[in-house]
A and B are shown apart, each in its own frame.
Chain A
Amino acid sequence: MERTPVEIRLRKGKTIDLGPSPGNTSVIARTVRNVGVMAMDYPGVIFDLRVSEGDRVRRGQLLCVDRYRPEIAFVASVSGRVHQIRQGARRWIDTIVVNVEDDEGIRFDVDAAAQNDGALRDLLLKSGAWLGFRTRPFGRIPDPSDRPSAIFITATDSNPLAPDAAHVLKPLMESFRRGAQALSRLTDGPVFVCQAPGSSLIDWSKTLRVVRFSGPHPSGLPGTHIHHLWPVSDQRSVWQIGYQDVAAIGTLLSSGEATITRTVSVAGPGVERPALVRAPLGAELNDLLEEPRTDETLRVQRLVSGFSLTGREARFLSRHDLQVTVFDRNATPKHTRTALRRMIDKLPLAAPGATQPSEAFERLFPFDLLPVPLMRALAVGDIETVERLGGLELLEEDMALLTWRCPSGIDYGQLLREILDTLHQEKAA
């Protein structure tokens, strides 16, 4: 068996400055009026409804399942009434909106799961905790019977303005450890706990390995960790899971209640005081902002679920996002302040251009992969070359800095997603 390094220092990357982050402020609970479950958060999933509009649901109750893998359950994160079921393209369910009404939860039976590995999987699937896992390659919800070669717990977050994992975990340490122990029963390989430098979050054992990552963004993204510790391929897949999802599994195993709240940072150039707020999964982003919320402030604010390069402007918080970035619609971007820059921006721009190589791409990409050949292969849609160049090790978020730096205006994350979906279909066929 290979040796696992204890600490990995990365020099490549860039942490873009977006203003102050909430830091170690205390967590504020916000009252949320609506939550949404969005199909967009789960690539490859088609919702099959188990409720209809107007139904009353309790916290933890089944809303819908995946059409092709009905064991995978999507549950309500609040108790209330199903307000709206929105359809998107091909009449597939796009969003399920639930109005919050009272506070009534479902208790799951956890006794069997304490001993039996099969029962543990059933519990995770039934309670919706399974959705915290994503496979690598492909970034999808794992199959219920899949046994990964390793599991990666991402107990750090280098996205600018993201909450500090160690601070959020402080009151949840007991649950986090219990959850991590439970995860080691889902795989034959190791469970890696990837954290920032500092005191160890968990005791090192044969199955649980702590690795510290330091350096600029993306040193705290699971893609970087997996690449350096346990590179995946078409032969070998791993699961990744966020630290708050692990703590939620720990709480579920001790209390039987599905923990569906997350601690989320609300920050960015559009807010005066960055804050850490506690909110249910899929919370409406408007409700996470500070009071008073007048129509005027809501009109000028652009709310992004996630880090601004990888997130999207949406009504609800995405499943895996732990931050809301707020922009001011009226603010002039910094780079257009000088007259010369404004003039240059007025010149017509042939878009999208071609990928032009630069050493700067290598400086932003802490992988042993070749960024420019990869970007060129993505731009022309050469699936085989993307796969040979290690595209299976990456997800959209890993390409974000390259997209930001590239003058051509090509969205490499989007192109990678399309190629990953094609490769996944080929593999399934």
Chain B
Amino acid sequence: MTPPPLLARHWDDNRLTLVTLTASLAPFVATIVTGGPAQLPPLALAVCIALLWHLAFALPRKRLPGWDGIVTAVIFTVMVPAAVPLWQQGLALSFGLVMGNLIFGGRGRGFLSPAAVSLAFLLFSFPVNAGPATGTAAALAALLGGALMLIAGILSWRLVIGFFVAMAACAFKWPVPMIWPEWPSATLIVGLIFLIGDPVAAACTNAGRWFYGLLAGGLFVLLAYAGGDILSSVVFSGLLAAIFAPLIDQGVIWANIRRRARRVRHD
């Protein structure tokens, strides 16, 4: 038997999942409170699907399943338009869980946010015309969740500021059509926090987080200008930015190595 650690760690994967889950449940609870329990069956279905896929990947490998699938399920349910049939939701979520996370070996080993992959699959496969009807309460709750994620250090403030700076700058160049009733809506906030701001999908260096946030903000306005609604703009800007994140990090790494090599030469 190994002795217990000398100094207990404050963070382990379960606590990380719990904090993220609390933050993502906040807008969901607000929707339930204001709009009634119509969203509960989709959530139950999504959580069951997530647990099943995690078990399906963990059992053959004789490993313990991670709990992060529940978080993916909650984020997906919060963002998905209520009009989408349940079988389409289940199919899209399954695709995202497997292709965005599990085939890479679990959370932290992939390079995309599984919820973003699910939503992108849904938007590609089944035409969704209406954005989700989210109220001010959900938007406020999402802001609270975002504050929790910022305090816990899971969401990067550099990324958030970069996103809004780029959004403001680009909105001058490409005035966004007036398709968005309330601005910023819960969809945008939840998408920024959990899809674009997902630490696994985002850049992993401080300088890279600035560039990544700027890129995602610019892409968001560009996609909205080209005619996308909020949901598709936020999902695809997150997905595209995540694909560029490793390249951004590689650039930061090169710059760091060059800078240190110059320092050693000059001493």
- Do the beta carbons of B257 and A354 come within 8 Å of each other? no
- Do the beta carbons of B259 and A368 come within 8 Å of each other? yes
A333: CB under 8 A from chain B?
yes
Bound together, the chains give a CA A122 to CA B257 distance in angstroms of 39
* Residues in chain A near residue B8, CB distance under 8 A: 333-336
Measured between C-beta atoms, what is the minimum distance from A302 to chain B in Å? 7
* Residues in chain B near residue A334, CB distance under 8 A: 8
Measured between C-beta atoms, what is the minimum distance from A190 to chain B in Å? 11
| Most B Cβ at <10 Å: residue of A325, A358, A363 | A358
**For window 392-412 of chain A, which residues contact chain B by CB distance below 8 Å?**
404-409
B140: CB under 8 A from chain A?
no
Bound together, the chains give a CA A372 to CA B18 distance in angstroms of 22
Pick from B14, B107, B206: contact of A362, CB below 8 A.
B206
B64: CB under 8 A from chain A?
yes
* Residues in chain B near residue A344, CB distance under 8 A: 14-15, 18
B3: CB under 8 A from chain A?
yes
- Do the beta carbons of B199 and A349 come within 8 Å of each other? no
* Residues in chain A near residue B263, CB distance under 8 A: 231
Bound together, the chains give a CA A359 to CA B14 distance in angstroms of 19
Closest residue of chain A to B202 (Cβ to Cβ) is A357
B67: CB under 8 A from chain A?
yes
B153: CB under 8 A from chain A?
yes
A313 touching B107 in the complex, CB below 8 Å, given contacts A362-B206, A407-B13? no
- Do the beta carbons of A359 and B105 come within 8 Å of each other? no
- Do the beta carbons of A354 and B107 come within 8 Å of each other? yes
* Residues in chain A near residue B144, CB distance under 8 A: none
Bound together, the chains give a CA A302 to CA B124 distance in angstroms of 59
Measured between C-beta atoms, what is the minimum distance from A1 to chain B in Å? 9
* Residues in chain A near residue B256, CB distance under 8 A: 368-370, 389
Bound together, the chains give a CA A345 to CA B14 distance in angstroms of 8
**For window 227-258 of chain A, which residues contact chain B by CB distance below 8 Å?**
230-231, 233, 235-236
- Do the beta carbons of B260 and A231 come within 8 Å of each other? yes
A372 touching B204 in the complex, CB below 8 Å, given contacts A350-B64, A354-B108? yes
Bound together, the chains give a CA A389 to CA B252 distance in angstroms of 11
A309: CB under 8 A from chain B?
yes
A: interface residue count bin: 35 or more
A353 touching B252 in the complex, CB below 8 Å, given contacts A344-B18, A407-B12? no
* Residues in chain B near residue A349, CB distance under 8 A: 12-14, 64
- Do the beta carbons of A359 and B7 come within 8 Å of each other? no
B10: CB under 8 A from chain A?
yes
Measured between C-beta atoms, what is the minimum distance from A377 to chain B in Å? 10
| Most B Cβ at <10 Å: residue of A345, A368, A372 | A372
- Do the beta carbons of B3 and A373 come within 8 Å of each other? no
- Do the beta carbons of A348 and B64 come within 8 Å of each other? yes
A2: CB under 8 A from chain B?
yes
Q: Give B4-32 as 1s and 0s: 1 = Cβ < 8 Å from A's Cβ atoms.
A: 00111111111110100000000000000
A285: CB under 8 A from chain B?
no
- Do the beta carbons of B106 and A360 come within 8 Å of each other? no
Bound together, the chains give a CA A343 to CA B61 distance in angstroms of 26
A356 touching B107 in the complex, CB below 8 Å, given contacts A350-B63, A389-B253? yes
Pick from A233, A313, A368, A406: contact of B3, CB below 8 A.
A313
Closest residue of chain B to A341 (Cβ to Cβ) is B15
Measured between C-beta atoms, what is the minimum distance from A164 to chain B in Å? 22
B266: CB under 8 A from chain A?
yes
B178: CB under 8 A from chain A?
no
* Residues in chain B near residue A405, CB distance under 8 A: 9-11
Closest residue of chain A to B266 (Cβ to Cβ) is A2
Bound together, the chains give a CA A404 to CA B12 distance in angstroms of 10
Pick from B9, B153, B249, B264: contact of A231, CB below 8 A.
B264
A309 touching B156 in the complex, CB below 8 Å, given contacts A350-B106, A353-B107? no
Closest residue of chain A to B63 (Cβ to Cβ) is A350
Measured between C-beta atoms, what is the minimum distance from A331 to chain B in Å? 11
A388 touching B257 in the complex, CB below 8 Å, given contacts A348-B64, A354-B105? yes
Q: Give B51-75 as 1s and 0s: 1 = Cβ < 8 Å from A's Cβ atoms.
A: 0000000100001111100000000
Pick from B6, B63, B106: contact of A308, CB below 8 A.
B6
* Residues in chain A near residue B64, CB distance under 8 A: 348-351
- Do the beta carbons of A370 and B109 come within 8 Å of each other? no
- Do the beta carbons of A359 and B153 come within 8 Å of each other? yes
* Residues in chain B near residue A369, CB distance under 8 A: 256, 260
Measured between C-beta atoms, what is the minimum distance from A369 to chain B in Å? 7
Q: Give B154-170 as 1s and 0s: 1 = Cβ < 8 Å from A's Cβ atoms.
A: 10111000000000000
Q: Give A36-64 as 1s and 0s: 1 = Cβ < 8 Å from B's Cβ atoms.
A: 00000000000000000000000000000
**For window 234-267 of chain B, which residues contact chain A by CB distance below 8 Å?**
249, 252-253, 256-257, 259-260, 263-264, 266-267
A300: CB under 8 A from chain B?
no
**For window 28-50 of chain B, which residues contact chain A by CB distance below 8 Å?**
none
* Residues in chain A near residue B257, CB distance under 8 A: 388-389
B136: CB under 8 A from chain A?
no
- Do the beta carbons of B6 and A356 come within 8 Å of each other? no
- Do the beta carbons of A409 and B209 come within 8 Å of each other? no
Q: Give A364-377 as 1s and 0s: 1 = Cβ < 8 Å from B's Cβ atoms.
A: 00001110110010
* Residues in chain B near residue A406, CB distance under 8 A: 9, 11
A95: CB under 8 A from chain B?
no
Pick from B11, B105, B200: contact of A407, CB below 8 A.
B11
A72: CB under 8 A from chain B?
no
- Do the beta carbons of B66 and A353 come within 8 Å of each other? yes
Measured between C-beta atoms, what is the minimum distance from B244 to chain A in Å? 16
Closest residue of chain A to B153 (Cβ to Cβ) is A360
* Residues in chain A near residue B158, CB distance under 8 A: 359
Pick from A230, A373, A404: contact of B9, CB below 8 A.
A404
* Residues in chain B near residue A360, CB distance under 8 A: 153
Pick from B109, B209, B252, B267: contact of A230, CB below 8 A.
B267
The 5 closest A-B pairs by CB, nearest first: A354-B108, A357-B204, A360-B153, A372-B204, A350-B64
- Give 13 pairs: A residue, B residue, CB < 8 Å, sorted on A: A309-B6, A313-B3, A313-B6, A349-B64, A353-B13, A358-B153, A358-B199, A359-B158, A370-B252, A372-B205, A373-B204, A406-B9, A407-B16
Known: A405-B10, A407-B9. 9 other contacts (CB 8 A): A230-B267, A308-B6, A313-B6, A335-B10, A344-B18, A389-B253, A408-B13, A408-B108, A409-B9
